[in-house]
Amino acid sequence: MGKLSTWVRQPTTVAGISALLGTAVAVLLGQMSFAAAVPLVAGAAVSMVLPDNSAARQQVSTVAEEIVAQISQKEGAKS
């Protein structure tokens, strides 16, 4: 139950569920054709299946900041 709860709370899962429900309602109300809904359903499914990896995003951000700082220091030493 804990893994399911964690999965449902991920931002990508929430966005996927929202897109899927919105698309389903639009199709049922006749506001959108099924052909137009297929790409939205596919995107929603991918969004729900792929895990949210906030930790990786933070690590990349930290590494990028360190690289920029090192480049800035080297550029400052050249002038």
Give the DSSP per-residue string, 16-51: HHHHHHHHHHHHHTTSS-HHHHHHHHHHHHHHHHSP
Q: Are 51 and 13 in contact (CB under 8 A)?
A: no
Does 75 score more than 80 pLDDT? no
Structure-block tokens of residue 52: 């949210």
Token pair 């897109």 in the structure block, residue: 19
Q: Are 12 and 48 in contact (CB under 8 A)?
A: yes
> End-to-end alpha-carbon separation of the chain, Å?
59
Q: Where are the domains of the chain?
A: 2-78
Does 3 score more than 70 pLDDT? yes
pLDDT in tens, 23-72: 999 999 999 999 999 999 999 998 888 877 777 777 888 888 888 888 88
Read off the pTM.
Answer: 0.62
